[in-house]
Amino acid sequence: MTDIPFDCVGFDLDGTLLDTSDELTVSLNHALASIGRPPLTQAEVRPMVGLGARHMLAEGLARSGESSEAMADGLLPVLLEHYDAHLGSGSPPFPGLIGTMDRLATMNVKLAVVTNKFERLAVKLLEAKGMASRFGAIIGGDTMGKGFAKPHRAPIDEMIRRCGATRAAFIGDSIYDVGAAKAAGVPVVAVSFGFLTGPVEALGADAVIDHYDVLIATLEQLG
């Protein structure tokens, strides 16, 4: 039995579980530097995160100068190779997360990750941070096939299936998270400390939290 009306709680990864903006900024700048582009700041990169590495790279190219599909395709392996080699060197969990996950585990709530990061990189990062074993499912942007990443509902449906859940909730920081959860009929909580591109209230989530210490109480209210 649980003390909240959900037997599965899913999380986005970048900007929700972990502040990955430090590692992503370094790897993006590495790729940009390889073609003579100036570096971007961490604050500039944060809003580019959410639709996967290629989207972030395309945004970075546009911000730093000329951009094209061919340039993004050509530089993507450079970015991914660097990112892969340095996974876990930064990316701290957000304050209060670990304690809240511990509490959810004692309530027999299954935890999951649904991210638009490639599944292999998501698993490797969570393993590097010692967190992978906490999750009953880790679903990446490529897990369900091309065209089925968030905001499509398919990865949320797969999360529910893998966790054997009867009622799930989802936590995220972007319109893609909110869109996917709502399409799947799942209550969604937005985090105000994530990689936002505008006011968190504009995402249309069912609730907003400013710290993980209030997540469980928020989930109780949503139920």
12 is catalytic: yes
Question: Which residues, including other chains, have CB under 8 Å from residue 88's CB and lie 6 or more apart?
Answer: 124, 125, 127, 128, 129
Sole residue written with tokens 């054997």: 164
- Residue 99 has φ and ψ, to the nearest 5°, of -60, -40
Instruction: Give me the chain's average pLDDT, please.
Output: 95
- Residue 167 has φ and ψ, to the nearest 5°, of -150, 125
For residue 37, pLDDT over 60 is answered with yes
The pLDDT score that the predictor gives to residue 45 is: 93
Could you read off the pLDDT of 59-112 as tens digits, one per residue? 999 999 888 999 999 999 999 999 999 999 999 999 999 999 999 999 999 999
21-85: CATH, from 2.60.120, 1.10.150, 1.10.760, 1.10.287:
1.10.150
Q: How far is CA 152 from CA 7, 141, 146, 156, 157, in A?
A: 22, 10, 11, 8, 10
Higher model confidence: residue 171 or residue 47? Answer: 171
Peptide bond into 39 cis (omega under 30): no
Q: Do the beta carbons of residue 86 and residue 121 sit within 8 Å?
A: no
The pLDDT score that the predictor gives to residue 2 is: 52
Domain ranges of the chain: 8-19+91-222, 21-85
| Cα 161 to Cα 142: distance, rounded to the nearest angstrom | 17
Say which of 7, 12, 19, 177 is annotated catalytic: 12
Q: How far is CA 192 from CA 13, 41, 151, 202, 223, in A?
A: 14, 20, 19, 11, 21
For the chain, give the percent of residues with pLDDT over 90: 91
The pLDDT score that the predictor gives to residue 194 is: 93
| Alpha helical stretches, state H, the chain | 21-33, 42-45, 53-64, 69-85, 97-106, 119-128, 154-163, 175-183, 215-222
Residue type at 5?
A: P
What's 8-19+91-222's CATH class? Answer: alpha beta
CA angle 166, 170, 164 (to 5 degrees): 25
